[in-house]
């Protein structure tokens, strides 16, 4: 692997490492730096850069980063070239992390409500006082009446929360955020369980595949591990002697589908049917020689009916099936959109089954499975399905929850309004939110505990899904905390200490660093990038390299489940909320390459970054097929109302040539009533009007199963976009683009 960090930079990757390696830096020839008489703060040398290795937390993927720090300030985040996950690369969100740290509207002190909830009147208090007070309150509560709702936390935090709750005797945390729902993590895990007997996330080796079929997938945008899949996509296109091809089946021309050689538009929720038909053709034509026992999969599948339901002609289905079967290294990957449909689990299985019937499992260019962590201490806390949130909200509404702690999630913003979270909150005595900015949930809390950003704290992450390696990524502070903030993990440790008893025994560590070091002890003995005799040395190297990773390939080869021969794949018709007569269109919320599930809308760099497909910035738009727009009598830049049975939003029309005529797409991310000056009061939040529909088989939120109607308002607002503004169209007139 080509390392782009020079030797000199490399030696400075970590403060701890610097000390350790100072002996071997002495013989390097390099400019001499003059030191002023005034002593600079520790770790800073005026004019000299330091590069600290750490882990990106702008999404749950866990890419390795190097942060350039000069004069004690973080100036640039880059990918860590040595990190096997992202190999030096980052996505748009990862690049923008500095603005979380230096956002002018960050929370700077512990806040306690003085007025009514939501009035925005706060008093300050100290950490000592608040820990004391929280400990007292917790002691006075029945443990089963204490609840935690967390997002997809970094492992160190998730583990501390889990141990804290166990110590208290409280129910485990509900681990849910919209990013996880968009990823479809619980659906993917359930599909792996059904097909391969292990509930883990799949990994698709598309870099070495010659034919990739992506079903309802946005794998180049926000799905699971965007940098990994972008890199793999790039490599797939230029393999030695082969240009891999990509075909996308989906209702909308997403950025991912736009990169495909062929986009096949299908109605929402029918991607799984396409996969079934392809499988049926493959077995009927006998391409599946080695796997005849799986033929039962496709019993009763009617290719003609699929053609009818999807609008893809039967002859084309046959061609698609043959192209896939003939390929040397084909791979079929299910995507986020499947998980958003009511038939998500069945559809995901139907897609993955294509790899099974052709016997392409765990080989060059095929599907692999995420391995277990290298030690028990590094086990991950499982993600909860949406159903668990629903149950929590029910308990809150029924007055069965005395204290709710929210961490790494923003339920007031991200949950469908119809779930009634905000109302249920009223019946909870004590609401405590950990946050680095005043988000919608913090604003409705009693106590707000200001959190470090990921650039100010310690942590570790067992990266999942990973590449072919086991990776335990390191996180360390790259600058001193700017304000009187703390890591939520440290707050829990302090609370446990105060509470004493069983909780204290579960969380016996004086601080985060001690805790993390105990998690890593088992790694020291394993073969990886670090050879260290003792724990101290291991820790120093771990920070310096940005983590530990295995020497050997570690991804798991999927073993087909024993009971597959009796299995028949059935993909039920998708269901939608809302009467078709009243709500004729399907609503597709689109996670954003910049805001993710909305949590990064506060960052100005990301607000001003154009959406790849529409080139729009700073606002929310509604994508309509040209025919649909014409039928509704609306044009670009007109404001329309999008009404579901559960609410309505207003946004600006973008006439979008790449969308099924029955579908409207609205990007996720804007419509904040809090979260700082750049997020507040712009655009609309589409998540609020979704049906809070749970899929029984997995408990997943069917986030792509709401019907809407779109109506004119007669008002207009020009969408701030690049296209036809910064000369893009002018450029076309001038023929900047060939052809």
Partner 1 sequence: MSEREHRWTMVIDLDRCTGCQACVVACSVENNIPVVGEDEVRMGRAMHWIRIERYWEGEYPNVRARFIPVICQQCERAPCEPVCPVFATYHSEVEHVNIQVYNRCIGTRYCANNCPYIARVFNWFDPQFPEPLNEQLNPDVTVRRRGIMEKCTFCIQRIRRAEEMAEAERRPLGDGDVQPACVQSCPAEALVFGDVADPNSRVAKLVRSRRAFRLLEELGTEPNVIYLKGGEAHVG
Please list every residue from 78 through 97 that binds ligand SF4, using CB under 6 A: 86, 90-91, 93-94
Which of 88, 279, 450, 488 forms a contact with partner 1 (CB under 8 A)? 88
CA-closest candidate to residue 618, choices 470, 486, 517, 719: 719
Return the SS3 of 34.
Answer: coil
Which of ligand SF4, partner 1, none sits in contact with 58, Cβ below 5 to 8 A by type? ligand SF4
CB atoms within 10 A of CB 481: 16
Which of ligand SF4, partner 1, none sits in contact with 61, Cβ below 5 to 8 A by type? ligand SF4
Contact flag: residue 718 with partner 1 (CB under 8 A): yes
Token pair belonging to 436: 């680095």
CB of 572 to ligand SF4, least distance (A): 33
Contact flag: residue 603 with ligand SF4 (CB under 6 A): no
Which of 376/734 has CB closer to partner 1?
A: 734
Which stretch, 402-410, 523-531, 622-630, 704-712, contacts partner 1 (CB under 8 A)?
Answer: 622-630
| Residue nearest ligand SF4, CB atom distance | 94
CA-closest candidate to residue 247, choices 316, 182, 343, 198: 316
Which of 172/658 has CB closer to partner 1?
A: 658
Token pair belonging to 7: 């030797």
Which of partner 1, ligand SF4, none sits in contact with 661, Cβ below 5 to 8 A by type? partner 1
Region at 211 (left for phi over 0; alpha for psi -120 to 50; beta for the rest): beta
Query: Burial letters for 446-478: b for 16+ Cβ neighbours within 10 Å, e otherwise?
Result: bbbbbbbbbbbbbbbbbbbbbbebbbbbbbbbb
Contact flag: residue 613 with partner 1 (CB under 8 A): yes
Intra-chain end-to-end CA distance of the chain, in Å = 37
Residues 658-677 that bind partner 1 (CB under 8 A): 658-659, 661
Which of 1, 26, 28, 38 forms a contact with partner 1 (CB under 8 A)? 28
Contact flag: residue 335 with partner 1 (CB under 8 A): no
Task: Name the packing angle between helices 314-326 and 303-310 (round to 10°).
Answer: 110
One character per residue 675-694, x = contact with partner 1 (rule: CB under 8 A):
-------x------------
Contact flag: residue 62 with ligand SF4 (CB under 6 A): yes
Omega within 30 of 0 (cis) for the link into 465: yes
Question: Residue 59 carries which DSSP code?
Answer: S
Which of 319, 627, 635, 673 forms a contact with partner 1 (CB under 8 A)? 627
Residues 191-230 that bind ligand SF4 (CB under 6 A): 226-227
Question: Residue 698 carries which DSSP code?
Answer: T
Contact flag: residue 669 with ligand SF4 (CB under 6 A): no
Which of 168/257 has CB closer to ligand SF4?
A: 257
Which of 568/677 has CB closer to partner 1?
A: 677
Contact flag: residue 54 with partner 1 (CB under 8 A): no
CB of 555 to partner 1, least distance (A): 20
Which of 395/452 has CB closer to ligand SF4?
A: 452
Residues 580-599 that bind partner 1 (CB under 8 A): 593-594
Contact flag: residue 8 with partner 1 (CB under 8 A): yes
**What contacts 729, CB < 8 A, 6 or more positions away?**
723
Where in 162-261 does DSSP place strands (E)?
A: 174-175, 202-204, 211-215, 245-250
Return the SS3 of 583.
Answer: coil
Token pair belonging to 717: 């607002």
Contact flag: residue 707 with partner 1 (CB under 8 A): no
Q: 587 with 577: CB under 8 angstroms?
A: no
**What contacts 103, CB < 8 A, 6 or more positions away?**
436, 437, 602, 603, 676
Which of partner 1, ligand SF4, none sits in contact with 465, Cβ below 5 to 8 A by type? none
Token pair belonging to 547: 């983590």
Where in 306-401 does DSSP place strands (E)?
A: 330-334, 367-369
Which of 295, 605, 645, 662 forms a contact with partner 1 (CB under 8 A)? 605
């Amino acid at each position: 692997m080509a390392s782009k960090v020079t030797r000199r930079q490399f030696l400075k990757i970590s403060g701890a490492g610097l000390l350790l390696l100072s002996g071997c830096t002495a013989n390097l020839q390099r400019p001499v730096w003059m030191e002023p008489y005034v002593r600079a703060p520790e770790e800073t040398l005026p004019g000299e850069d330091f590069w600290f290795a750490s882990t990106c937390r702008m999404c749950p993927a866990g890419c390795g980063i190097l942060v350039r720090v000069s004069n004690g300030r973080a100036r640039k985040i880059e990918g860590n070239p040595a990190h096997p996950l992202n190999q030096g690369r980052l996505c748009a969100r990862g690049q923008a992390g500095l603005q979380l740290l230096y956002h002018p509207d960050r929370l700077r002190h512990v806040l306690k409500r003085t007025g009514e909830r939501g009035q925005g009147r706060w008093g300050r208090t100290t950490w000592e006082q608040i820990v004391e007070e929280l400990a007292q309150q917790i002691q006075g509560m029945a443990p089963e009446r204490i609840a935690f709702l967390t997002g997809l936390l970094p492992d160190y935090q998730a583990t501390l929360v889990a141990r804290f709750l166990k110590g208290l005797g409280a129910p485990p945390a509900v681990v849910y955020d919209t990013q996880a729902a968009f990823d479809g993590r619980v659906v993917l895990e359930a599909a792996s369980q059904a097909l391969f007997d292990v509930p883990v996330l799949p990994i698709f080796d598309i870099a070495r595949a010659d034919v990739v079929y992506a079903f309802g997938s946005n794998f180049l945008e926000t799905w699971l591990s965007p940098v990994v899949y972008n890199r793999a996509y790039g490599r797939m296109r230029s393999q030695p002697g082969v240009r891999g091809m990509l075909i996308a089946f989906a209702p909308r021309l997403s950025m991912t589908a736009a990169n495909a050689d062929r986009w096949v538009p299908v109605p929402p929720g029918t991607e799984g049917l396409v996969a079934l038909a392809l499988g049926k053709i493959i077995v009927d034509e006998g391409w599946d020689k080695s796997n005849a026992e799986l033929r039962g999969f496709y019993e009763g599948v009617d290719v003609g009916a699929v053609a009818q339901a999807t609008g893809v002609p039967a002859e084309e289905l046959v061609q698609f099936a043959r192209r896939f079967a003939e390929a040397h290294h084909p791979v079929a990957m299910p995507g986020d959109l499947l998980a958003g449909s009511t038939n998500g689990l069945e559809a995901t299985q139907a897609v993955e089954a294509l790899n099974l019937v052709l016997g392409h499992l765990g080989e060059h260019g095929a599907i692999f499975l995420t391995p277990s962590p290298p030690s028990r201490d590094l086990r991950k806390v499982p993600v909860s399905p949406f159903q668990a949130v629903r149950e929590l909200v029910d308990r809150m509404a029924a007055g069965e929850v005395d204290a709710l702690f929210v961490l790494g999630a923003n339920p007031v913003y991200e949950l469908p309004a119809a779930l009634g979270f905000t109302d249920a909150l009223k019946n909870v005595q004590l609401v405590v939110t950990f946050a680095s900015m005043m988000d919608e949930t913090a604003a409705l809390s009693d106590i707000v505990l200001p959190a470090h950003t990921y650039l100010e704290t310690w942590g570790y992450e067992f990266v999942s899904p990973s590449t072919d390696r086991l990776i335990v990524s390191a996180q360390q502070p790259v600058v001193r905390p700017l304000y009187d903030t703390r890591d939520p993990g440290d707050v829990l440790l302090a609370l446990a200490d105060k509470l004493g008893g069983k909780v204290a025994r579960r969380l016996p560590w004086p601080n985060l660093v001690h805790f993390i070091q105990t998690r890593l002890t088992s790694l020291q003995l394993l073969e990886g990038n670090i050879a260290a005799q003792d724990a101290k040395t291991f820790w120093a190297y771990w920070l310096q390299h940005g983590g530990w990773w295995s020497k050997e390939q570690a991804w798991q080869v999927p073993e087909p489940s024993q009971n597959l021969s009796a299995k028949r794949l059935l993909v039920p018709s998708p269901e939608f909320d809302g009467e078709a007569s009243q709500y004729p269109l399907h609503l597709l919320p689109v996670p954003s390459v910049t805001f993710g599930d909305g949590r990064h809308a506060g960052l100005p760099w990301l607000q001003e970054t154009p959406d790849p497909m529409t080139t729009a910035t700073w606002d929310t738009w509604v994508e309509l097929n040209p025919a649909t727009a014409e039928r509704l009598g609306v044009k670009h830049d007109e404001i329309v109302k999008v009404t579901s049975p559960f609410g309505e939003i207003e946004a600006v029309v973008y006439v979008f040539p790449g969308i099924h005529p029955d579908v409207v797409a609205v990007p996720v991310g804007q419509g904040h009533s809090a979260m700082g000056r750049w997020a507040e009061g712009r655009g609309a939040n589409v998540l609020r009007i979704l049906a809070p529909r749970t899929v029984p088989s997995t408990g997943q939120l069917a986030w792509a199963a709401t019907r809407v109607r779109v109506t004119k308002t007669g008002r207009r607002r020009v969408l701030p976009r690049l296209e036809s503004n910064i000369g893009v169209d002018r450029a076309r007139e001038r023929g900047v683009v060939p052809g």
